[in-house]
Structure 1
Amino acid sequence: MTTDTVHETEHLIVVDAPAERVYALIEDVGTWPEVFPPTVHAECLERDGDTELIRIWATANGVAKTWTSRRRHDPGRLSVSFRQERSQHPVGGMGGAWVIEPITDARCRVRLLHDFFPASDEPADLEWIKQAVDRNSASELQALKSSAEPAEPGQCFTFADTVTVEGSAEDVYDFLNNAQLWPQRLPHVARVSLDEDSPGLQVLEMDTRTKDGSVHTTRSVRVCEPHRSIVYKQTVTPALMTLHTGRWLIEPQGAGQVAVTSRHTVRINTARITELLGPEADLATAQQLVRNALSANSLTTLRAAKAYAEGGGGRHPVP
């Protein structure tokens, strides 16, 4: 039984950036994993003028969820309205709007509006939704402010590593998808906990060994598209990063070859550079250290996936 009572909330923040810059960040869902902490992956499924259908994979109260929403853009009023087309329990239905109100040429107010109702009359369902909306709204608005306001150049950067595999995309994907086997397959992985309550939506917790022998724990949500890609976002990052998103991309090259790429987007935690790396360290030092560490682990994984696929792997035929 669903309730007929619709609940409404409003959250707001003042951003020291032009309203048009803020609107652009909200308008382009492709950048949301880099802007909003709860968003793991987002893509536009279809667009017709100012109306689009998007799919979002995100966390709510620590739980990985996915849903589709219909959005309507109004560039003249600097607003984007949204309505979930298929909500996930305990949400019965949800919609709302982003509204950007210029204060000056370099400052604006952002209002995030929600209306929703639970999937049942259970009080616990309503409370869960309220907590998720409050937590995510506050997190998203603060993240939007941080992304829109001027930042130190180079704080956020992207890089990639690629190997060519003489094997099948299916075998490469099997290796990357079955991360629960990584402690036996990868020397830098000490422990893995992998949950997949919904097909293709994984929560991966992993202990990784560093060169000095220490171990750090990361937690990621992964969106898996069989034989093509795995997109992920770390929800628990090492101390030197405030953002780490990535993608394993598998691209057939013809003649029985596939190119496998590991792409990373990272934002450095500039407030902790000297604390973690010493008084002489700067942003460039942190960038190089992070890139070297992530590339080393990625290349180890890529080469192991290559060896697995070229050695027969799961015995998928090479086209």
Structure 2
Amino acid sequence: MLIEAPLDLVWDMTNDVAAWPGLFDEYARAEILERSGNTVRFRLTMHPDENGAVWSWVSERTTDREALTVRARRVETGPFEFMTLVWTYHPTDGGVLMRWEQEFAMKPTAPVTTAQMTERINRNSPSQMALIKSKVEAAARAGDGSEPATPVVGARS
């Protein structure tokens, strides 16, 4: 996803985990549990799903500003065998190309298969990316960085 905004603004907004509920519309709460150097451990809580269930999990992210990369993983995996994410940022003449790639597998006991979760993520990601893009670009136009934002999502199973 190309975000038409300065790199520093894109980086700061998309890596401000505490502000993610204002950046993504699927998160109700982001609670920072621990910080150590460039690593943050946090709990994300989603808004209730169509069945009223509220999903929550602990993840960890490590930023590398020099390499313009973020590596993340779910610490509490829930129905996933594992989930890892890599965010990359590529400055361009028109802004910042941000990419978010996920690797995961579902546990055999999960309520959905890996293929079903891949389809679900791929269906939801474009709206989340568009929302993030619009919020970061609005903050860039305002010149104050006051609005929160994030990525191109590529789910792989």
Calculate the TM-score normalised by the size of structure 1.
0.40
Over the residues paired in the alignment, what is the CA RMSD in angstroms?
Answer: 2.5
CA distance in 2, matches of 1:124, 1:110: 28
Cα distance between partner residues in 2 of 1:60 and 1:131: 20
- In structure 1, the gaps of 5 or more residues are 1-12, 158-319
Measured against aligned partners, the alpha-carbon deviations of 1:222-266 in whole angstroms (never above 9, x if no partner) come to xxxxxxxxxxxxxxxxxxxxxxxxxxxxxxxxxxxxxxxxxxxxx
Q: For residue 26 of structure 1, report the CA deviation from its aligned partner.
A: 1.7
Do residues 130 (structure 1) and 118 (structure 2) align? yes
Choose the corresponding residue for 1:25, options 4, 8, 13.
13
What SS is found at the alignment partner of 1:109?
A: strand
Code of the residue aligned with 1:41 in structure 2: it is R
Determine which of 86, 89, 99 is the counterpart of 1:111: 99
Aligned partners of 2:104 and 2:49: how far apart in 1?
16
After TM superposition, which residue ranges in structure 1, 4 or more long, deviate above 3 angstroms?
59-63, 121-124
For these two proteins, the number of residue pairs brought into alignment is 140
Give yes or no for the alignment of 1:97 onto 2:86.
yes
Aligned twin of 1:45: 33
**Contact 1:51-1:70 at 8 Å conserved across structures:** yes
Q: 1:139 to 1:61 in 2, by over 3 A?
A: farther
SS of 1:77 mapped into structure 2: coil
Q: 1:69 to 1:124 in 2, by over 3 A?
A: closer
SS in 2 for 1:150: helix
Larger radius of gyration: 1
Provide the TM-score with structure 2 as the length reference: 0.78
Partner Cα distance (2:135, 2:111) in 1 = 36
Kindly indicate whether the alpha-carbon contact (under 8 Å) linking 2:32 and 2:41 is maintained by their aligned counterparts in 1. Answer: yes
Identify which of structures 1 and 2 has the higher relative contact order when contacts are C-alpha pairs closer than 8 Å and 6+ apart: 2
Summarize the alignment of residues 163-312 of structure 1 with structure 2, pairs less than 5 Å apart: none
Percent identity among equivalent residues? 26
The equivalent residue for 1:72 is: 62
Cα distance, 1:70 vs structure 2: 1.4
- In structure 2, relative to structure 1, the CA distance for the partners of 1:88 and 1:150 (3 Å cut) is same
Distance 1:123 1:48 in 2: 34
Following the alignment from structure 2 to structure 1, what is the Cα–Cα distance between the partners of residues 59 and 85? 11
Distance 1:126 1:60 in 2: 22
